[in-house]
């Protein structure tokens, strides 16, 4: 695999771009570089933000110049290991009500891809999605593995309010809004469960490295779970990587 | 001369102002979990306020937007006003900004509409005592996290301050002009020099824009629309055209990143920005220019000026040296008024 491309993000941050596709091995490489940097315990490294294909590093420009950061990161990229495939992973079941008032853009997604609404639901819920990263807002999961038949561009002007639990599609990405938020994704459904709770030890229901399985529910089930949210236990199953549904 | 025992002080919110939130230097280190940084829009004014009231660690202060709140103190504390000129008052007497005041139980802190700038900081000795969330008390209202119940202050709120460890404060004889180290005219947030071009370092995604698009961005006049808040400033001006599309695979963003959605109108990401975003980012406003940008009102026009990363980092170092001089001056100002050992 090639070395990343470096570019400045203002005067106090640098981006290392590892590729331009969403792929588990690229993401794994980013995690490795990140781990290396964290282990250096360097006070001049202020914050690391890993994403699908890039690692953003905020640093102190009084300590490192941009060129010095490029050299620093080049060193960090010099030791990678290859991936181990026979491990167990967590598959988190997210009950989701598709379409209607909960998924106002499902018709657009269907029309855009020449599908029926039922097709959209069965394709979207028929795959297990790898959680590549959390970002955008606390607990927002960026998932990989969306079937290409569902790819739909973002809204050209983002909405100012998307309700918590909304499940959306943007380009070849899909994910769930953990809280009310502005956003530009095409909304196809909504889950009634709490995706992010600041008072829990692990606030996010789904974490990086987990897989997400959307389980279709009716609007009656949605309201039932919504009303019994506190008692609802999220179903998490352990599967072998080989048994994960989708193209991995 | 020992004057005052700083007991646990609180203040009552008589009027909340337009949008008043608790902020400290922000939630650093948690963006990888999607946790936004928040913190002050004008980090420099905030930091000067902390130095003026004698807080050596950054503590919770109030960021007031457009209109100052009215607060009644229950207990004693040192208060300082920095940032936008909201004509602050103590017991209805107009007081200067950038100077610390010893206030007593029953004193009323207030002010009016901002005459210059958008955001004023009210700092308190000890700082505002609200629960830490991931190491910070900064309010992120969009996700209802941090600060005072994750929201702006409301009428009737009672907000507590930390007890201050220094119990003896000696006040030197105060002569208004002799003891004022800051030339407040130079700190007119939103004033003249605040409209100088905002310097931008282009990022890798500038490749996604046409030559004309980048030229339009670098030379055009952009107006702050009414959709400007702590999360981002949406600007309106010459369209920045993309070569193919505005969508990217989501990646990280910083305070000052300028994202351009498909409509070609730039959005400068500010203190409450999301940690990552999926629109192309043409570049990033450099750190030294962010405080003055945060003080500009809706309707103002700005320009951008493209610079190299080397120039950007040179300006960063120059700015941090000025920043440190100002902080030192603020600490000196604190000692001028309160002859403490700290």
Distance, in Å, from the CA atom of B167 to the CA atom of B248, rounded to the nearest integer, reads 56
Closest to B122 measured CA to CA, from B214, B16, B26, B217: B16
Where is the domain boundary, A76, A109, A139? Answer: A76
Same structural domain, A66 and A165: no
Rounded to the nearest angstrom, the minimum Cα separation between B218 and chain A is 16
Rounded to the nearest angstrom, the minimum Cα separation between A61 and chain B is 7
- Planar angle of CA B265, B271, B277, nearest 5 degrees: 50
Chain B interface disruption, residue of A4, A8, A10, A207, most B CBs within 10 A = A10
Provide the pLDDT for residue B163. Answer: 87
Average pLDDT over residues B329-334: 89
CB pair distance less than 8 Å for A9 and B257: yes
DSSP B82-137: EEEE---EETTEE--SSS-EEE-TT-EEE--B-SEEEEEEEEETT-B----BTTB-
Give the tokens for residue A138.
Answer: 């606390």
Q: Is residue A161 part of a domain?
A: yes
Chain B interface disruption, residue of A7, A9, A154, A157, most B CBs within 10 A = A9
Distance, in Å, from the CA atom of A204 to the CA atom of A14, rounded to the nearest integer, reads 27
Same structural domain, A100 and A166: yes
Asked if A136 and A158 count as a contact pair (C-beta separation under 8 A), the reply is no
Rounded to the nearest angstrom, the minimum Cα separation between A107 and chain B is 21
Please name the member of A8, A157, A179 whose beta carbon is closest to the beta carbon of B143: A179
Alpha carbon distance, N-terminus to C-terminus of chain B: 16
Tens-digit pLDDT profile for residues A55-101: 999 999 999 999 999 999 999 888 666 555 566 788 999 999 999 99
Same structural domain, A158 and A188: yes
Tens-digit pLDDT profile for residues B221-235: 999 999 999 999 999
CB pair distance less than 8 Å for A51 and B249: yes
Where is the domain boundary, A52, A76, A100? Answer: A76
Backbone phi and psi for residue B284, each to the nearest 5 degrees, phi listed first: -140, 130
Tens-digit pLDDT profile for residues B243-293: 998 889 889 999 999 999 999 999 999 999 989 888 999 999 999 999 999
Q: Is residue A83 part of a domain?
A: no
Q: Is residue A110 part of a domain?
A: yes
Q: H helices of chain A, where? A: 24-40, 66-76, 106-112, 117-125, 219-227
Please name the member of B254, B274, B286 whose beta carbon is closest to the beta carbon of A137: B274
Poorest-pLDDT segment among B27-31, B292-296, B326-330: B27-31
Same structural domain, A97 and A187: yes
Q: Is residue A82 part of a domain?
A: no
The answer to whether residue B321 scores a pLDDT higher than 70 is yes
Average pLDDT over residues B155-179: 73
What CATH number is attached to the domain comprising A63? 3.30.1360.40
Give the tokens for residue B165.
Answer: 């460890």
Give the tokens for residue B124.
Answer: 């308190």
Q: H helices of A60-116, where? A: 66-76, 106-112
What CATH number is attached to the domain comprising A136? 2.40.100.10
Same structural domain, A45 and A158: no
Q: What are A41's strand-pairing partners?
A: none
Please name the member of B34, B203, B315 whose beta carbon is closest to the beta carbon of A139: B34
Q: Are strands B108-110 and B70-74 parallel, antiparallel or unpaired?
A: antiparallel
CB pair distance less than 8 Å for A171 and B249: yes
Chain A residues touching residue B283 (CB < 8 angstroms): 10
CB pair distance less than 8 Å for A52 and B250: yes
User: Residue B251 CA to chain centroid, in angstroms?
Assistant: 25
Chain A residues touching residue B281 (CB < 8 angstroms): 9
Closest to B83 measured CA to CA, from B57, B111, B55: B111
Chain B residues touching residue A20 (CB < 8 angstroms): 249
Neighbours of A183 (CB within 10 A): 23
**Which residue segment(s) compose the domain that A72 sits in?**
5-76
Average pLDDT over residues B55-69: 96
| Domain B192-307, CATH | 2.40.100.10
Coarse DSSP helix, strand, coil percentages of chain B, rounded to the nearest 5 percent = 20, 30, 45
Give the tokens for residue B105.
Answer: 């139980």
List the helix and strand counts (H, then E) for chain A: 5, 14
Tens-digit pLDDT profile for residues B248-259: 988 999 999 999
Tens-digit pLDDT profile for residues B135-166: 899 999 988 899 999 999 999 999 999 988 65
């Amino acid at each position: 695999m090639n070395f990343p491309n470096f570019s400045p993000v203002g005067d106090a941050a640098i981006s290392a771009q590892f590729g331009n596709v969403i792929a588990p091995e690229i993401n794994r490489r980013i995690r490795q570089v990140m781990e290396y940097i964290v282990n250096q315990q360097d006070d001049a490294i202020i914050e690391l933000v890993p994403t699908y294909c890039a690692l953003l590093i905020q640093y102190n420009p009084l300590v490192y110049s941009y060129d010095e950061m490029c050299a620093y990161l080049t060193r960090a990229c010099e030791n990678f290991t290859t991936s181990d495939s026979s491990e167990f992973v967590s598959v988190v079941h997210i009950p989701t009500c598709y379409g209607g008032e909960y998924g106002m853009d499902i018709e657009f997604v269907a029309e855009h891809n020449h599908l029926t609404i039922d097709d959209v639901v069965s394709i979207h819920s028929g795959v297990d999605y790898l959680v590549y990263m959390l970002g955008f807002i606390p607990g927002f999961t960026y998932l990989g593995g969306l079937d290409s038949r569902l790819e739909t561009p973002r809204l050209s002007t983002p909405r100012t309010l998307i309700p918590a639990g909304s499940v959306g599609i943007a380009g070849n990405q899909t994910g769930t809004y953990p809280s009310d938020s502005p956003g530009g994704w095409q909304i196809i459904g909504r889950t009634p469960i709490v995706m992010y709770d600041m008072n829990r030890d692990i606030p996010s229901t789904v974490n990086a490295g987990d897989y997400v399985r959307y389980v279709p529910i009716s609007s009656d089930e949605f309201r039932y779970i919504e009303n019994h949210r506190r008692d609802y236990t999220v179903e998490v199953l352990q599967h072998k990587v080989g048994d994960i549904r989708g193209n991995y | 001369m020992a004057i005052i025992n700083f007991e646990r002080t609180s203040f009552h919110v008589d009027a909340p102002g337009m949008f008043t939130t608790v902020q400290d230097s922000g939630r650093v280190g948690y963006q990888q979990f999607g946790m936004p940084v928040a913190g002050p829009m004008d980090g420099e004014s905030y930091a000067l306020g902390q130095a003026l009231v004698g807080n050596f660690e950054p503590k919770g202060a109030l960021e007031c937007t457009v209109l100052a709140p009215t607060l009644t103190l229950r207990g004693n504390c040192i208060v300082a006003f920095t940032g936008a000129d909201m004509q602050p008052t103590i017991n209805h007497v107009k007081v200067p900004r950038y100077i610390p005041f010893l206030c007593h139980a029953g004193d009323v802190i207030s002010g009016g509409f901002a005459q210059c700038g958008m955001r004023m900081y009210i700092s308190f000795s000890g700082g505002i005592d609200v629960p830490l969330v991931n190491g910070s008390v900064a309010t992120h209202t969009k996700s209802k996290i941090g600060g005072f119940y994750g929201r702006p202050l409301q009428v009737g709120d009672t907000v507590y301050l930390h007890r201050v460890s220094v119990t003896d404060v000696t006040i030197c004889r105060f002569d208004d002009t002799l003891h004022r180290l800051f030339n407040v005219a130079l700190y007119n947030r939103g004033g003249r020099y605040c409209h100088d071009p905002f310097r931008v370092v282009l990022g890798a995604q500038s490749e996604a824009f046409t030559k004309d698009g980048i030229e339009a961005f670098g030379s055009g006049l952009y107006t702050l629309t009414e959709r400007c808040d702590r999360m981002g400033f949406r600007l309106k001006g010459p369209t920045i055209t993309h070569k193919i599309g505005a969508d990217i695979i989501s990646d990280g963003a910083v305070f000052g990143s300028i994202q351009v959605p498909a409509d070609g109108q730039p959005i400068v990401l500010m203190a409450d920005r999301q940690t990552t975003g999926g629109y192309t980012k043409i570049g990033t406003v450099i750190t030294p220019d962010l405080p003055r940008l945060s003080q500009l009102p809706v309707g103002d026009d700005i320009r951008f000026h493209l610079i190299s990363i080397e120039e950007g980092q040179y300006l960063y170092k120059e700015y941090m040296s000025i920043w440190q001089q100002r902080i030192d001056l603020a600490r000196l100002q604190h000692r001028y008024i309160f002859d403490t050992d700290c």
